Amino acid sequence: MKRRVVITGLGMITPLGTGTDKSWKGLTEGRSAIKRITHFDPEGLPCQIAAEVSDFEIDNFIEIKEQKKMDRFIHLGLAAATLAMEDSGLKVTEHNADRIGVIVGAGIGGLSSIERYTKIINERGPKKVSPFFIPMTIINLTAGQISIRFGVKGPNSAIATACATGTHAIGDAFKLIQSGGAEAMICGGSEAVITPLGIAGFTAMKALSTRNNEPEKSSRPFDRDRDGFVMGEGAGILILEELEHAINRGARIYAELIGYGLNADAYHITSPAPNGEGAAKCMASSLQYAGINPEQVDYVNAHGTSTKYGDEIETTAIKKVFGDHAYKFCVSSTKSMIGHLLGAAGGVEAAICVLSIINKTVPPTINLDNPDTDCDLDYVPHKARSLDLNIAMSNSFGFGGTNACIIFRRFV
């Protein structure tokens, strides 16, 4: 019999603000955080816009000496984990440290540091490369730094599955607790690759929006005039606990995690399978794992990247899985406001699903001015909607055809 797993802590750093309250307020107000890039001068690049985290005060989370040993993606992930642990009230002691673990990943990792030290070695030679260069760039060091910060000695892992990273991290942590491998897990994703090479690389793939003159309108999932996704950055961390463990310590329980599905399209390195077969099977698998019927789902936080084929194919997949019920529930893409956080997207969007359940509110899909005729579901256009929802699903589909879906339920 599977052990029940609940969410007891949330930590969010998004382009709408540092902390859960700021992020949730911005989402429910339908505010776009997308602007012209300030991290570097984007002049000359076809895409000059992104969703940057602008209010992050690193000194509030990490000592100056330690900051220099980490890339920005680790800064954001460690800070979000700190917020989540504070929110949960979970205390790590010598008696429980071995039963608490970390699974936090990134899609790309320390790209900004790689770019910086490539310039340094070319201009100043190898002796000027920091001894911390490797630890500041490799993906597992967010999980490593979190474990060091809190003295967590249980299972420790890092996921790197592109845009599905955060969701896979949460799903794997969920199964680990269910099977008895841990009592609590710190899990999610972080990402910070708004860099010249990051933007140039995705632009070369023709994946990014080039609506530079209207940044706030550039991310428009399911809209007829969408022209690509917008890069975002941030981190989303959840604290998962075995139910009795949470109850025994008097924890506040946000919601219950009940389903997880993962699979592959086995089709193309960047494009989803045309018929949505992989995404549909992944959603169906998560429903089966949760032991619920499709008709019980009230809300789907869509992958919804604002790319031409991605949005159409996800819509097709949803209709395959849910049939007529697909027209009776809410689907929205919060990427319309905060952009695509890549490896952090799944963690942030999982937190959004949890907040939607406890606040009885579905965040909107903004900029949906001219719905695509092939995208004909209820995407909650423009304004948030009050809804007494019980079950929410979060979808994440990554390059390489890797898919992940998780399902949350109101805790009773």
Active site residues: 163, 303, 340
Quickly list DSSP for 269-323. SSSPPTT-HHHHHHHHHHHHHHT--GGG--EEE----S-HHHHHHHHHHHHHHHG
Residue (of 75, 73, 70, 71) closest to 58 by Cα position: 75
CA distance 294 to 118: 50
Q: Which residues have a Cβ under 8 Å from the Cβ of 364 and sit 6 or more positions away?
A: 30, 332, 336, 380, 381, 382, 383, 384, 385
- Helix (H) / strand (E) element for 6: namely strand 5-14
CA distances (Å), origin 298, targets 206, 329, 358, 359, 362: 34, 5, 13, 14, 10
Rounded to the nearest angstrom, the gap between the alpha carbon of residue 144 and the centroid of all alpha carbons in its chain is 19
Q: Which pair of structure tokens corresponds to residue 402? A: 């890797």
Cα dihedral: 410, 258, 345, 183 (round 10): 100
Residue (of 37, 106, 50, 100) closest to 74 by Cα position: 106
Q: Which pair of structure tokens corresponds to residue 102? A: 């970390």
